[in-house]
Every structure is written in C-alpha cells, then in structure tokens.
Structure 1
Amino acid sequence: MFAISRKEVARLAGVSEATVSRVLNNVGPIKPETRDKVLQAASEVGYVPSALAQQFARKKSDNVGVILPFVPKVQLFSTFYFSQILSGIGEAAQKHGYNLLLIFRDPAGNRNYSHLFRAQKIDACIMLGSSDSEEERIALAELEREKFPFCLVNQQYSEENYNTVDADHVTGSYEAVKHLITGGHQRIAFINGPIQFSNSNDRFRGYRQALIDAKLPVDNELVFSGNYSRTSGLQLAPELARRIKDNQISAIFAANDRMAIGVMNGLVPFGLVAGRDYGLVGYDNSDGAKIVTPSLSTVTVPFYEMGQQAMEILVADLNKKTAQQQRMTANKVLLPVAFIKRETS
C-alpha cells in the first residue's frame, strides 16, 4: 500500500498541484470544468486530503473554543451550571458542523485569548466564568479590537459592545425574596457569590429592591459572602444558626442551590429544619434542589438555552464574516427565569 499524493491527482487531471489544492480546499475562483476534472481524478485514485491542511488553506478550523475556569480539585463537568450550558453549546455546534475545543484558564494566569485565533486553533469562542477584572477586560478588548468573534455567557460588561447571553437574575432574585416576604418573613439573610461576577451583583440588586418595595430595611449585617460552592454554605451554618435562634433571621436566600443545600445540611446538627424553623430559597433549579429533603424552593434558569443562544450568535457572526459583513451592534440576550415553590419555603 502507498499513499496517494496530490501530485498524482494533478497529473491525472492535467492541472498543477496548486490548482488541485485550490479545488480541494475550496479556495479562490475555479472554472467549473476544472473543478470537475480535479474531483473526478481525486475520486479515481482515492485521494483523501489532510483535514489539517484544509483548515490552514481555508484559514478556518471549524472549532469553537469554550473558555472555562480551571479550579483544582473541582469536578467542573458534574456541576449543574456548567454541564447544562455546555450541553446547549454542544447541541447547537453539532447542528452547524462545528467542533468544540475546551480551553481551561487559570484564574491567575495569562489571558491571551487572541493567540488562539491567530494560531488558527479556533474560529470563535464562548466565555464561561468570566469576571470583572482588569486582566479580563484587557483581553476582551483586544478580541473586540481585532474583530475576533466571541460571546460571554452569564457575565455582562454593560458599557461594552460585546455579544452577551444572560438570564434576568434581577427579576429572579426579586421574585424569590418577594415570595419569602409574602410568607411573613421580614429578616431575610442573603448569601451571595463573588462580586466580580455581574450575576452576583444582579442577584443582590433583586434582593435589595424586593426589601425596599416591601418597605423593609436593607441590613448589610444580613448579607453574607460565599463562592457558589456547597462548602461555602456549610461554613456559614454556625453563624446563621446563632442568628436564627436569636430571632435575627427568619429566612435565607442563597444565590445558588449549592450554597443553599450547604446551609440546609449545616443547620441540621443545630436542630434547624428548612421550611419548619426558617424559610430557605436557592437559585438555579439544579437536580439537587429536587432530590434533597425537604425539597428546595428555587429559581429556574435556562442554562441549556443560554448555551444554545451563545452558539447561534457566533454562527451568525461567522457567516457575516464569511460574507465580509461587519457587525455594528452586539447581540445582548436576556432570558427569563421563574420562581419555583417547594417545601423549604
């Protein structure tokens, strides 16, 4: 057995090797009769071009990069948030003939995203876990300046013209707190995520506005910080238990289900049961919210659809780029959320 070369195809078709390359890589204007001759010759000798060579010739990788935060010892793909968004991205990518390239970013490391484009590793990228830091802003500004297509998911820079897909976290938090207030709670603690994420700020805005509209005080002593992990909720349990028993807190709203479940588990040794001794609402409507006992009231967020939408936006941008059209305004999508009442509230 021997490998069929491009030279053999050129000889059989009666054209140059450069012409064979242009036909097989679909690059540049080619006469229809010449194209037919080359394709016929390639078929007869069973020539299969290198996929990598085709990508370089077309300056197109057919890969969409997904930038993910690298967190040691955290099973990222088992988390509801990331698994749902990635599933949505993957479904839309497969439909449009793109592959996904997962790229893990060290939060303290280099953010040279533009290099991925210049090296032709990716045609576009989706950012998961972006945060409001100087390094991130510089890297994203470079992508925008170079007109490399990208889309942010669940993170907004309101003053920037970036493609963004997010959920209405202000309304989601507002409805969660309003539900607790309607149930008679007036001292509602809030466990938020890191403030460098725009969705953390949105959740706090909704919490605050619900209290203001109900003419209840916004007490900063009732606002706690976590990192969206179950452990961070668990660690707050002793302090929350003390305040519940002292009647300083009657309900807790956590910015995601993992922290809410951590709190709920952590309060059990103190003899406190959610839905009986205090109200509790989480956020995300993860699988865990449905199976814990008592079942967790929460806010459902369309993470799967967010992933789909991000990919669709990029496909549209890539098609415009192929047609040499320029995107004048960014696509900024805000998807609705919904409160779900269960046993903890």
Structure 2
Amino acid sequence: MATVSKVINERYGVSEATAEKVLAVIDQLGYQSSLIASSLRRKSTGVIGVLVAEFEPYSAELLKGISAALDGTGYELLAHAGRSGAHNHSGWERRSLSRLGHTLIDGAIVVTPSMIITDETTIPVVAIDPHTGPDGPMTVDADNVTGARLAVDHLVGLGHRRIAFLGGRPDLRSAALREKGFREALYDAGLSVSSDLIRVGGYHPELAEAPARELLSLPAEERPTAVFAANDISAIKVIEVAESLGLRVPEDLSVIGFDNVPEARDATPPLTTVAQPLHEMGRSALELLLELLEGKQTERHLRLPAELIERSSTAPPAA
C-alpha cells in the first residue's frame, strides 16, 4: 500500500523498476484514486464544479466555453444539475454547494442561481447570470438591457408597432432587465406599453406555450405583429404556436429571441436573436474562479456586450 501510494503521488523512495510495475497494474486495472480521499489528505480535489439547475441549450453553451478554457489548467470539470422537480428552482444551488464543496470540488461556477449566493460560501464561487445583479460573489453576465433594446429597435425599424413581450423567469434579474430594455425602447420610439401584450414565459418551452397562444389568439386588430421572447427556446415555441394557428413567420408575425443558442440558427425559419457571448461568458467565469483559487485580487463583476443577429424570422409587418 505504501509503495503504491508513493508511486501515485510521485514521492521518492521507490525504484524505477518497481514504479513501472505499479503503473502497469494501475493501467491494467483502470484504477483512479478517490476524489474524496484525496481531498481529505491534500485539502483540494483538482476539480472545478459547474452547477446548473438543469442541462438545457443555454447552460450547454456555457459549459462548452468553460470546458475549452479549462484545457491546460490542471483542473478537471464536474457538471452537476441540482434542480429537483419539474419547475422547482428555489434553493438548488445551496444544496449543491453543501453537497459538493471541499469533498468533490475546489470551487464552483453557478449558472442562473435562484437565490443570493453570499460571500460566506465554503468554497470560491462565481455566478453567471446572477440572481440579484452584482451582489455577493463574483459575477459574469451580458448586457441584458441593451440587448433587449436592440431587439425592439430592430422590430420598430421594420415598421412594427404592436410588439408583444414574452418574459423570462420572474425570479431572475436577467428577465427583469430584458423587460426593462423592452419598455425603454418602446418609450423612446414613442410607443405605448400595453399590458395586454406582456406575458411571462418562464424561459421554458412548456411554460411559454400557453401565454404564446393567448397572445396569438387575440382578435386580428389586437394581435401583435411581432413577439420579442426573452430567450430563444421560448421564441421557437412562439413560432410553433403560430404555425399551429395558421400564422406564417415572418409574413404574418415576426419573432425575435435572446441568447443565440444553436437551436436558433436551426429553427424554421432561422431565428433572429440577440446573441449573448455564451462561450466567452463561460471562459471569463472560469478565469475569475481560477484567480480566486490562486488568492488573487480580481475584478468582481464582468458584463459583456450583446449583439443583434438578423435571420429570417423577422420582416416588415403585412400591409
């Protein structure tokens, strides 16, 4: 046991021939040391945790950015989905951090937390799309207000005047900021904000279907000519609902989303959207976390720009 331990941990006191025999058996058996045992002995695991409520297109794109940036750092990646129940968001990150902290992971990137994560967590934490904005731990997000304004300005520029908003999760600051940008852009364009054209879609296709159907089932003179959905998956659901009601996109209805996940490009028609730099957000969050783990003083809150991506789901309204 002692000899094997010395070989695994690269300690002196074992001959080269013996070390080669031990390594050969390790390779033959596919042996891996226990993360928990290693963490107890070394006080570290060499593993970065990425905690998400669920694996969906948005978090998957962030994971790609984090994973690519992890190469060469010496750390491994553990992705953990912490939500239980169909739409039970509350408190999943606290449970996950308590379960994984110090025994399986050295630090965590938490994606769209449903609560305020305080600085008193037992391990370093960086939040992407934070719950209440720049409070608590280090954060990375996109410019949600400007992004929403870009979406509305695009629709107004095409000639739309009855523009509906399908919002995101009420518990997330990003959803509130996107609605804020939506309202500001309409106000600046001299257009009124009608409560009849605002619905909550919850950032989830199942939750977006009913409010989308309500909006598109309004009488023709009241029905919106364009819908801005607070994320791409909800926007794609709007397109599906429009098709089921006999409405053509973009001839009868323009639809624009937010995020620029791969599904937006592959939608029918391809979805006009506001792109968050998701891979860059993931990479930046990892860099901030590594600096924390090294004990460096670094920027606490990073906000990245959003960009309008024009595709085929938006066009001038029908005459």
Map of 2:308 onto structure 1: 339
Following superposition, the deviation at residue 196 of structure 1 comes to: 0.5
Counterpart AA for 2:18: V
Q: Is the 8 A contact 1:233 1:261 kept in 2?
A: no
Residue 43 (structure 2) pairs with residue 59 (structure 1): yes
Query: Which one of 112, 116, 121 corresponds to residue 129 of structure 1?
Result: 112
Distance 1:109 1:115 in 2: 11
Give the aligned partner of residue 100 of structure 1. Answer: 77
TM-score relative to the length of structure 1: 0.77
Please show how residues 15-94 of structure 1 align to structure 2 within 5 Å.
39=12, 41=14, 43-46=16-19, 51-52=33-34, 53-70=37-54, 76=55, 79-94=56-71
Q: Is contact 1:244–1:278 with CA below 8 Å preserved after alignment?
A: no
Aligned residue in 2 for 1:260:
235
Residue equivalent to 2:224: 249
2 CA distance for matches of 1:293 and 1:112?
39
Letter of the 1:93 partner, please give it. Answer: L
Q: 1:201 to 1:109 in 2, by over 3 A?
A: closer
In the alignment, structure 1 residue 316 sits paired with structure 2 residue 316 = no
Distance apart, 1:309 and its partner CA: 1.1
Structure 2: runs of 5+ lacking an equivalent: 27-31, 84-88, 315-319
Which of the pair has more CA radius of gyration? 1
Bigger fraction of residues in helix: 1
Choose from 196, 204, 210 the match for 2:185: 210
Q: Residues 66 and 244 of structure 1: is their aligned pair in 2 closer, same or farther, counting only changes over 3 Å?
A: farther
Segment drifting more, 235-244 vs 41-50: 41-50
Matched residues in 2 for 1:219 and 1:165: separation? 32
Q: Which residue of 2 aligns with 1:163?
A: 138
Does the alignment pair 1:190 with 2:165?
Answer: yes
Q: What TM-score, normalized by structure 2, do the two folds share?
A: 0.83
User: Percent same amino acid among aligned pairs?
Assistant: 31
Task: Give the partner amino acid of 2:177.
Answer: D
Aligned pair partner of 1:232 in 192, 198, 207: 207
AA matched with 1:260: A
Tell me the number of residue pairs that the alignment of Structure 1 and Structure 2 aligns.
Answer: 297
Q: Are 2:156 and 1:181 equivalent residues in the alignment?
A: yes
Structure 1 residues 156 and 238: alpha-carbon distance in aligned structure 2, compared to 1, 3 A threshold: closer
Structure 1 residue 289 corresponds to structure 2 residue 258: no
1: CA distance between counterparts of 2:41 and 2:81?
27
Q: Check 1:42–1:114 CA distance in 2 against 1; reply closer, same or farther (3 A cut).
A: farther
